[in-house]
Amino acid sequence: MKPFIALSATAAPFLHDNIDTDVIIRVERLVGLTGHGDLGPWCFEALRYLPDGSENPDFILNQEPYRKSEVLLAGANFGCGSSREGAVWAMMGMGLKAVLAPSFGQIFYNNCFQNGMLPVVLPRTSIEEIISELRPDTGMTSVTVDLERQLVVSPGGREYVFETPPLRRQALLKGLEADDLSLTLKREAAIAAHQAHDRQRRPWIYESVEVQS
Amino acid sequence: MPGRTMFQKIWDDHVVADLGDNVFLLHIDRHILHDLGGPGGILSVKQRGLRIRNPELTFATPDHAISSARGRAGTSEVGIRLLEGLRSGTRSAGIRLFDVGEVGQGIVHVIGPELGLTLPGALLVCGDSHTCTHGGIGAMAFGIGTTELTHVLATQTLVQPRPKTMRIHLEGEMAVGVTAKDLILHLIGTVGVGGGSGYAVEYAGSAIRSMGIEERLTVCNLSIELGAKIGMIAPDEKTFAYLKGRKFAPAGELWGRATAYWRTLPSDVNAEFDREVEIQVGNVAPHVTWGTSPEQVLPVDGLIPDMADVTDVGKREAAVAALKYMGLQPGKPIIGTPVDWVFIGSCANSRLSDLRSAAEVARGRKVASSVRAWVVPGSESVKRQAEAEGLDAVFRSAGFEWREPGCSMCLAANGETVPAGQRSVSTSNRNFVGRQGPGARTHLASPATAAAAAIAGHIADVRKLGN
């Protein structure tokens, strides 16, 4: 996982509530996938293409200058629904690196951090303000997302402070060395001790499956 | 000092380490793998040079990608590859697999409770967002992503932020013809699909207490459609009676110890929740969705919303897009909307009581000639019990197709899709754009309402179905 420290890039307005992960990536594109695949072309498929397979000109990420967006200015409950981590892979596959939204689907929110994509929670009014400053005709569409300072800077220079869970922030700032699994493997002794104690307290959790297996 | 919620009690008993800032390393008691995520997860552990830490706490079954046709005919090449991958991966890791044709095979969220793998107070995870279903037994259960799945296989733990708590009281008595599915759809319509975001939900109240276990599983199943990763219901005597004698439930001396522990789990009377919601269920009618989000729902005898009545700009815009996708006219009754497909199945509604409820409607009637109707039992066990009761015969003689257990058309991961532009009434839990296939139009409903739609050929009020 690459570290995420700060980013200044084109931000696309996509202020729709309840965008679910089925819409971000269809399950059909994930069946039998090995690794993260090349899902970029299928991201937002139902919105991005017309039934004949051509691009839907109404979809924001098909329009200039938003084709090269790295930041998405999204609505509430973004990434709700299915747990599919492919939603994050697909978004990253089309070049997106940060999503700003009033709230996120909980599983999607966790999945973002596992892959180096930054989900930023900002009040809806702040996101609306940022969107109101976008000037695609003059190219004023760049938003800065600074994880080090936990600050978003709008195209017009307004600053918005955000919070990221400290452990997640550290992991993103450092990149791969700090992923959950590497850290947890160092806690094997604590896991073994927990299980030994738990076995006394709740033996059926362990024994009722051992007897039957 | 306030008492503890059931959520907090279960959480506390699973903390391996407090990582600070409200993040914890939690022990996982049960992990269920399916054919979509299981093979890759097992492989990724090997690729990192690690071992499956507790194969005896891990279980697997194919459900997502296998065909629901007789003999599993038509399972795609990829589906077969996944099934083979699940077989070889679980064999080499020593993980118990419930294979095709064997009792134990079925939708992950149907087989967990059915086998007694899901227990009150247990922490259960699965790479599927509807894992919240298992909360109906009093477990803490939630869906996880691919990276988290690998983490669980390798360490039997998971790093999780602790959510806030919400209690939802469902009070009163449900009217005749109204089911647990209708209640939860009504609740989602009231609270919204983001209403539970960031919370672990506990369902309580007299309506919950009077429900059977399978109905409670249906309620908890749609917690994720409220935005809540976790939904749970306090275990009671009904839960214990349901579990007793199940294959992996504690037996003998362990049963006594387990039930004594389970009785300590319900929230203390003085427990405090971050949010409390109360819903009176007495006037709730059968519900059906009209849009592309589960919150876009209405009583079956209601009118499709008129956009002029939707004041919130965002909601109006979403409603306009949804009505366009669904091909519906605002202000018209939803009853009478012609239907092409009916799907009775999925982790929301494919258990024996669901099939009985649908069969009661289908008995002695015929599926309309314009409708193709499927019944996909949730598990091999459900299928066999239903056949022993003759439910399959009721469905078949009414013109329904009786199929093999799995997820099937709920998410169409096995290629079983509703064709573009066609309308389906489905007992599943998601009416998202393209969920049942590109361009498919999905109306969520209860098994009884779905069966009524199959008979009538259009969306119908099951309470007023003629002969």
Helices (H), A58-165: 86-93, 106-115, 124-132
Domains of chain A: 6-175 (3.20.19.10), 179-213 (no CATH)
Mark yes or no for CB contact A103/B197 under 8 Å.
Answer: yes
Calculate how close chain B gets to A138, using CA atoms only, in Å.
27
**DSSP SS3 for B141:** strand
> Across residues A176-197, what is the average pLDDT?
91
Residues 30-89 of A with CB under 8 A from B: 30-34, 45-46, 51, 75-77, 80-86, 88
Instruction: Find the helix or strand (DSSP H, E) in which B187 lies.
Output: helix B180-191
CATH 3.30.499.10-classified regions of chain B: 8-275, 289-464
pLDDT digits (tens, 9 = 90+) for B180-203: 999 999 999 999 999 999 999 999
Higher pLDDT, B466 or B168: B168
- Does the structure show a pLDDT above 80 at B414? yes
Q: How far apart are CA B2 and CA A44, in angstroms?
A: 46
B29 close to A (CB below 8 A): yes
Helices (H), B327-446: 352-362, 380-389, 391-398
Q: Is B258 left (phi over 0), alpha (psi -120 to 50) or beta?
A: alpha
A123 close to B (CB below 8 A): no
DSSP string, B230-283: EEEE---HHHHHHHTT-TTS--THHHHHHHHHHTT-SPPTTB--SEEEEEE-TT
Integer distance in angstroms from the first to the last C-alpha of chain A? 38
CB A10 within 8 A of CB A134: no
- Does the structure show a pLDDT above 70 at A177? no
A206 close to B (CB below 8 A): yes
Residue B309: what pLDDT?
A: 81
Rg (CA), chain A: 20
Angle between helices B180-191 and B213-221 (to 10 degrees): 30
Q: How far apart are CA B331 and CA B233, in angstroms?
A: 37
B247 close to A (CB below 8 A): yes
Residue A176: what pLDDT?
A: 67
Residue A213: what pLDDT?
A: 46
pLDDT digits (tens, 9 = 90+) for B293-318: 999 999 999 999 998 788 888 889 99
Residue A37's pLDDT band, with cuts at 50, 70 and 90, is: confident
> Across residues B90-114, what is the average pLDDT?
97
- Residue identified by tokens 């399916």 is B34
> Across residues B283-299, what is the average pLDDT?
98
Mark yes or no for CB contact B193/A77 under 8 Å.
Answer: yes
Pick the residue of A204, A206, A211, A213 with the most B CBs within 10 A to test the interface with B by mutation: A204
Q: How far apart are CA B23 and CA B362, in angstroms?
A: 50
Q: Which fold has domain B289-464?
A: Aconitase; domain 3 (3.30.499)
Mark yes or no for CB contact B25/A33 under 8 Å.
Answer: no
DSSP one-letter code for A68: G
CATH number belonging to domain B8-275: 3.30.499.10
The nearest alpha carbon in chain B to A15 belongs to: B314
**DSSP SS3 for A41:** helix
Residue A210: what pLDDT?
A: 77
Mark yes or no for CB contact B435/A22 under 8 Å.
Answer: yes
pLDDT digits (tens, 9 = 90+) for B229-241: 999 999 999 999 9
Residue A2's pLDDT band, with cuts at 50, 70 and 90, is: confident
B189 close to A (CB below 8 A): no
Mark yes or no for CB contact B250/A207 under 8 Å.
Answer: yes
Calculate how close chain B gets to A97, using CA atoms only, in Å.
18
CB A172 within 8 A of CB A3: yes
